[in-house]
Amino acid sequence: MSNIVELASFYLKKEVSLPDFFQVSDKFNSEFLSVQKGYISRKLLVNGEKWLDLVIWETMEDAQNAVKEFYNSKPALEYASFMLENEGDLLHFSVQKSY
């Protein structure tokens, strides 16, 4: 079975400071993501004003369960509060080959 790559793109609200955002992102990672079943790793990427959260999961089921739990998590909702609403995407890809 192949791993799942989750790509969540977003834009930060204009008033957000990077130090505050990184602090909330760290809390989101340590208190929510990293304790989810099947979590492997995460990278936070930026290109200009567009951000990308790249998360590796063991299975699609693990990724989908984390998405469901996201809305019940205070650290996750706090993290999302830094982002513009309806300006991003959430995609899941199955790893077919690694080099």
DSSP letters spanning 22-79: HHHHHHHHHHTGGGSTTEEEEEEEEETTEEEEEEEES-HHHHHHHHHHHTT-HHHHHH
R_g (Cα) of the chain, nearest Å: 13
Task: Note the pLDDT of residue 88.
Answer: 86
DSSP state at residue 19: H
Q: Which CATH architecture has domain 4-94?
A: 2-Layer Sandwich (3.30)
Domain residue ranges in the chain = 4-94
pLDDT of 86 above 90: no
**Band of pLDDT at residue 76, cut at 50, 70 and 90:** very high
> pTM score, two decimals?
0.92
If pLDDT is split at 50, 70 and 90, which confidence band does 1 have? low
